Every structure is written in C-alpha cells, then in structure tokens.
Amino acid sequence: MSDTTSGALINTVTILHTVRQVREWNSAQKALGKSIGFVPTMGALHEGHLHLVTIAAQKSDSVIVSIFVNPAQFAPHEDLDKYPRTLEKDIKRLEQTQIAARSALPIAVFAPSVAEMYPGGITTHRGQQKGTFVEVLGLSEMLEGGTRPHFFRGVATVVSKLFHIVMPDYAVFGQKDIQQCCVLRAMVQDQHFPLTLVVASTVRDVNDGLALSSRNVYLTPEQRNRAPAFYRGMCRARDLYQRGTTDREELLAVVLEEARKDDLDIEYLSLSSPDTLAEVDSVSSETGGAVLSGAWRMGSTRLIDNMLLGFEF
C-alpha cells in the first residue's frame, strides 16, 4: 500500500522517497523516544552493507538506510551509468536482515531521486556544477584524491545533506572505505554534527579474504580468482609488523610481491598516518599507528582495500 505522508509500507520496511517523508518518520521515532541509526549506501547491497545495518540496529532503536547513487562523486569518465541499481532486491535483503537483527525494530529505506537530493540539478562535470558543496581540505586530496580529485567533495556533500535530512544519533560506515571514514570524521567534528560516527570492520569473503564490494560483480571469474592477492600481501605485511617490522619499505615490499604474483595493476600503495593520511616512513607510537592501503585495477574495475596497523578506528 502507498502513503504519500509516511511512505509505502512493504512488510516491515518503510519506503521513503522525499525529504518530507524522512523528517516525518524521524519525528515519529523521536516522539516514541527512539534513537536513530543511519547507514548511507549507494545500493546493490551485499553482506558488508548488511553488517553495517546490524551494527546500527545494535546501537539504536530504529534504523534508516539510504540508497542513492550520488552523481557528485563520479567523474564524467567513470561508471555512474552502469553502477548497479537493485532497489527491490535491496529492500528484500533489508527485510530479512531486520528479522535477524531484532524483530520489532523499525527500519526505513530512504531512496530519493537525484532531483530530491540536488534541487538545482547536478552534473558530473565539476567545473559546471552550481550550488552548495562541502569539501574537507587536507584529507580529501590524499590517497584516493590523487586520482579522483572530485570524489570526496561529492561524498562530503551528499553525506552532509543526508545528515541534515535524517538527523541520526549514530551513522555507521565501513572500514573498507577508510579514507572516507577519515574525511567524514573530520567533517562531523568541524561542522558539529550531533551524532556518533561508527566505523565497522571490513567484511570479507570467508574463503579468500577479498573485501566485499558492489563492484566485485564486474569481475570476470579469472579476475575474481586473482583479486585476493592484494589482501594476501596485506596479511603478510601485518604479520611482519606483529613480529616487530615497522619500516615502510619492508612492509610495502611484501604487498607488492604478492600483487605481482597475480599480475595486479597497482594504482597506488600507501602507508599513511591515520590522522593526516600523510605518508609515513615507519609505524610508531608517534604516528599513532598507520593505515596500509591501496587501489588496483582488474581490467576496467577498480578495487580498494586497507588494513590498520597499530591502532583501531
């Protein structure tokens, strides 16, 4: 059934499409004294996303999941048009997750249109964009920002919009996108958002450790077999670190060695400060630990992964 005020109820998941509907849902939860957990996604939900939803359910009395493929974080040459959009399947997965998490938990999906999120319009050509955008300087330019200078401006902008719309008590993100977590942590602090940002550990394939990603569906069987080499390399680096090796070159060398065994096309490999994302020469208490991270391509598919050394987010 449909309801233009509160959204359409499908089994136990309320579907919302407008800012007004979300705010009315929020007000109803707050009137009942319920806290709100929020999981922003671009859809094509997999077990990694559902893990975030479960964590939000553990911390909150109600949960809202946004499903929105954000044009502002794509460049004109990137895969915006072919990014998977599977809303009906996503809703079914969330229905099952709600039952597994807590039977009486109110859960909503916010699936807005592009026009709802960007009333003034949006283009992937940054120089032609108009309106209000959010940029976290000093962190956005590092690592991923070197090859995708537009990306974190788009992420910070849409997440800021979503925080204002949803007004959550908790917002849950995955460690796989570690730079995103660092950027958004800074944004929350700088903009005084009244929420707690929660970072959940990366969910991996139980057989070979490949981090779950919506882009994994693009991989051919042969590429999928080679893709876990990066994770194997990070595990070797972690083992070295745990045995006392802290030198940057030694840690990165074993990652590259594993990557080359399976002919991965490495875009970048980094050992960086968790606070500034600046490159570090070694892992130490002075650096507050380090983020071991990188990106690689399998054909036209770009994958990222990371591991935390000497600290927890």
65: helix, strand or coil: strand
3-state secondary structure of 83: coil
The two beta strands, 13-16 and 107-110, are parallel
Is 49 a residue of the active site? Answer: yes
Residue 46 to residue 38: CA distance in whole angstroms:
17
Strand pairing category for 290-298 and 265-272? antiparallel
Helices (H), 102-228: 114-117, 151-166, 178-191, 221-226
**Beta strands per DSSP E along 144-289:** 170-174, 196-200, 265-272
Q: Are 26 and 159 in contact (CB under 8 A)?
A: no
First vs last C-alpha separation in the chain: 42
In contact, 108 and 23? CB cutoff 8 Å: no
- CB burial of residue 109 (10 Å; 0-12, 13-18, 19+): buried
Nearest-5° Cα angle at 37, 31 to 38? 120
Query: Which residues on neighbouring strands pair with residue 298, listed in sequence order?
Result: 301
49, 77, 150, 192: the catalytic one is 49
Catalytic residue numbers read 49
